[in-house]
A and B are shown apart, each in its own frame.
Chain A
Amino acid sequence: MPDAVRRESLVVTRREFIRAAAAIGGGLALTLDLQAQEGGAPPAMRPHALKPPSAFIQISADNTITIVTPAVEMGQGGHTAMPMIIMDELDGDWERLRVLDAPAAPVYDNPMMGQQATVGSFSVRGWYAELRRVGAAAREMLVQAAAKEWEVPANECSVSRGTIAHRPTRRRCTFGSVAVRAAGLPVPQQPTLKASGDFTIIGTSPRRVDIAAKVDGSAHYGIDIRLPDMLYAAIKACPTFGGKIRSFDDSAAKQMPGYRATVALPDAIIVVARSYWQARKALDTVEVQYDLGRLASLDSAEVSRRLRAGITEPGEVVRHDGNVQHALAGAATVLEAVYEVPYLAHACMEPMNCTVRGDSEACEVWCGTQMPQAAQAAAAAVFGLPASRVTVHTQYLGGGFGRRGQADYVAQAAAAAKAVGRPVKLVWTREEDIQHDFYRPAAAIRFRGGIDSTGRLVALECNVATSSAPDFGGPARAAFYTGGVSDTTYAIPNVRVSGVNKDIGIRFGFWRSVNDSHNPFMLEGFIDEVAHHLQQDPYRFRRSMLQHPDGRRQLAVLDLIAAKAGWDHPAPGHFFGISAFAAFGSFIGTVAEVSVKDKFVTLHRVVSAIDCGVAIHPDNIQAQLEGGMVYGLTAALRGEITLEHGAVRQSNFNDYPVLMLADMPRFECYIVPSTAPPSGVGEPGTAPIAPALGNAIYAATGERVRSLPLSKYGFTLVSARA
């Protein structure tokens, strides 16, 4: 989620109290009381009757430790990282862990960004402090219960892997054996937390809990749900954004085998049938007349024209250090460059889908979602039910990347289920998925850099124009969509960043790494231009602008990647490009090593490093940085959604191509040891490959890449193994 949202939610000072919750079948269950409290008021321990689904942890008499994770699992490791944080403080037995997805409920709202959302690399950094308290409180209660039973002082007891021991009297018991007793004890609100040196699980890499089911086909995704009496639905939406269905003729569909119903939405036709294939075939026969709407003549050239007009407008100023106008006027040299990026689709491997069963009393939703309460609200609105009557069964997500933070597909499935009065599974085609996404916006930036007579970059002016921005219930603010530029930590005395939202009408999407998916590409490209203009080494030029306290961690990452890449000693014919910046609370950097011949780019090696504070699960951090790099590299090389007559031209993996095994570079990844609070991991890795690669191509060819994808310039990736 955007930083702008986060900053606002942080204004609310919210204290969270740990409460005991009734456990199913006896045992100890704890939850967090998220009711807003003022300042440091002491915890008010009220009677409560919470049901276990609102708990975060439940320890049963059979020693099973059930952890309800507020982070969904979309491959980023949330189902493992969340339990690790609790289990470490608890000293629980990892082998007895059972993980459940949280239902839609405000108790699971992320404390940092204020919503129940697995987005914005917020899960670990938002939940770290609170989940440690939950684990530590449970541990103290279990120890107290054992000590009481043994009539010994609690502080003489030790805990290891789910077993409590009192050495002086040689007594031992399991968590499960005292869980019922512990549940009757007062809940410690400020339990003692471990020193980071005492962690036994955090910082190790236990096997991810979802791995085994994902190698034998038993893992369940939204698309795999099958309910009794369930019907299947296929959908086709109006090709243009903002277009509507004017009329349709489904008389042929009605004659097709298995056909059950046609459901007309304002902007899409759904056909429901006995089987999915029958629904698809029947839908193909429906003849639809569209009102294509106001964007019917929009094409990508027009988007580009409007963005390039936007960067000349005054815009909303979000940062102004010193006096840029004055500094530019007095500069010995002014460099100017315009950068631009296209729309991008997410292309999750699992096409959008949702299964809904509901009536006038209640409704159930099965889907992969990054925002269960948004899914709940979408279904509730369709059925005219209060949210409390809608149960969301979150499944594994076959990719999220920001796309599954939207609930459009939930509303559609709900509409179909309501219309036919039976459970319905709606599955989009890949074509619908590519053509009706919420897109990473096309954007452009005009940079002006002022260099003084001593060769210092003394002024930086950044005019940002975006084609869309999220609706936070008010006008889109430039503070959000200039992120990745406006928060640069380079020491430049005069900096001015402004933004213009051209609001072209293509719906906005949070796309893995959000603004950092494009703004740092542009800024780090321009910084590289300045370095080359000054005939300075691009790595050392960046170094020189990070010699201040706020640049310390970024500098360490920059130095690390340069050292690991062997920056000063490239192999003959090989060239390096570098990029480093802050993203999602972390510090990230990448060196790309290339050789280029006749526009054929060989990417020999990618070296990345991150300082993400306490590294919860190092192996998974490496996986996320590598996966992020691949996602960013696909976009840098080939990713482009274009518009023609108001519709998306691309349709499937043939014309929206993504990287495959043969394209993979060697990847090295380093984690800077840190005791700082944990920060984002899932998204930062996506961002630095595009600028590093663009800068490397410049080093190799002298050709400056100012827009993406690289295929536009005729550059093609060839395998390093060819």
Chain B
Amino acid sequence: MFKLTINGTEHSIDADADTPLLWVLRDEVGFTGTKFGCGKGLCGACSVLFDGELTRSCIMPLGTVAGHAITTIEGLSEHSDHPVQRAWIAESVPQCGYCQSGMVLAAAALLKRTPDPTDADIDTITNICRCGTYNRIRKAIHRAAAEMKAAK
């Protein structure tokens, strides 16, 4: 049994210690917004916040994450209204949408660290989108940054 706090709620997980966090979230707990894309930490579809830090959950064994706090896309905001999510809707960013949970979390993590990111800062996001929504992602991040600044 492993104890994990996911989106503010503690869960007891009965799974093998080497099970990647991704599959724990998806199959054991049911947070399917976290996506499987590559299994090697290459694409970022499985991104979650691990004690607030952006992390690729497909290469994090359950045994090493027990006791920590995980935020998935489902837990980013209570009403799907995080400034990044609002900006994503305003710019109609997603196409197929499969990578976007990871993209939204990567953007939220970037803005937490760098509230007014330059294009070069945004370029540090290495999540993959095959639909090619990158330029809209960039625009949406700038929009979210502006909104968060205005709200202060």
* Residues of A participating in the B interface, judged by any CB pair closer than 8 Å: 74-77, 207-208, 210-221, 223-224, 226, 232, 257, 275-278, 281, 347-351, 396-401, 427, 429-430, 619-620, 623, 626-631, 652-654, 658-664, 666-667, 719, 721
Query: Is B126 at the interface (CB under 8 A from chain A)?
Result: yes
User: Per-residue CB proximity of B9-37 to A under 8 Å, as 1/0?
Assistant: 00000011011100100111011111111
Contact of B95 among A76, A224, A629 (CB under 8 A): A76
Residue of B nearest to A73 (CB): B96
Other A-B contacts than A224-B32, A398-B96, A399-B131, 5 sampled, CB-CB below 8 A, are A211-B89, A217-B31, A217-B73, A399-B96, A661-B134
A214 touches B100 (CB 8 A): yes
* Residues of B participating in the A interface, judged by any CB pair closer than 8 Å: 15-16, 18-20, 23, 26-28, 30-40, 42-43, 45, 72-74, 76-77, 80, 85, 88-89, 92-101, 104, 119-120, 122-138
B100 touches A215 (CB 8 A): yes
B100 contacts which chain A residues (CB < 8 A)? Answer: 214-215
Q: What's the Cα separation between A214 and B97 when bound, in Å?
A: 5
Name A's interface SS: loop
Name B's interface SS: loop
Contact of B36 among A211, A351, A628 (CB under 8 A): A351
B133 touches A627 (CB 8 A): yes
A433 to chain B, nearest CB (A): 9
Contact of B98 among A208, A216, A398 (CB under 8 A): A398
A658 touching B130 in the complex, CB below 8 Å, given contacts A221-B98, A652-B40: yes
Q: What's the Cα separation between A318 and B30 when bound, in Å?
A: 55
B143 to chain A, nearest CB (A): 13
B39 touches A429 (CB 8 A): yes
B40 touches A654 (CB 8 A): yes
A653 touches B32 (CB 8 A): no
B15 contacts which chain A residues (CB < 8 A)? Answer: 275, 277
A351 contacts which chain B residues (CB < 8 A)? Answer: 36-37
B123 touches A661 (CB 8 A): yes
A497 to chain B, nearest CB (A): 31
A217 touches B101 (CB 8 A): yes
B23 to chain A, nearest CB (A): 5
Q: What's the Cα separation between A661 and B127 when bound, in Å?
A: 8
B112 to chain A, nearest CB (A): 17
A626 touches B135 (CB 8 A): yes
Residue of A nearest to B15 (CB): A275
B125 contacts which chain A residues (CB < 8 A)? Answer: 660-661
A215 touches B89 (CB 8 A): yes
A219 touching B97 in the complex, CB below 8 Å, given contacts A350-B35, A628-B132: yes
A120 to chain B, nearest CB (A): 18
7 A-B contacts (beta carbon < 8 Å): A75-B97, A77-B95, A275-B23, A401-B130, A619-B92, A653-B38, A653-B42
B128 contacts which chain A residues (CB < 8 A)? Answer: 349, 653, 658, 660
A277 touches B123 (CB 8 A): no
Contact of A661 among B43, B73, B92, B122 (CB under 8 A): B122
Q: What's the Cα separation between A694 and B152 when bound, in Å?
A: 48
A660 touching B126 in the complex, CB below 8 Å, given contacts A218-B33, A398-B35, A630-B134: yes
A76 contacts which chain B residues (CB < 8 A)? Answer: 95
Q: Which of A401, A661, A662 has the most CB of B within 10 A?
A: A661
A216 touches B80 (CB 8 A): yes
B92 contacts which chain A residues (CB < 8 A)? Answer: 207-208, 211, 619-620, 623
B11 to chain A, nearest CB (A): 15
Q: What's the Cα separation between A631 and B128 when bound, in Å?
A: 12
B132 touches A215 (CB 8 A): no
A655 to chain B, nearest CB (A): 10
A653 touches B80 (CB 8 A): no
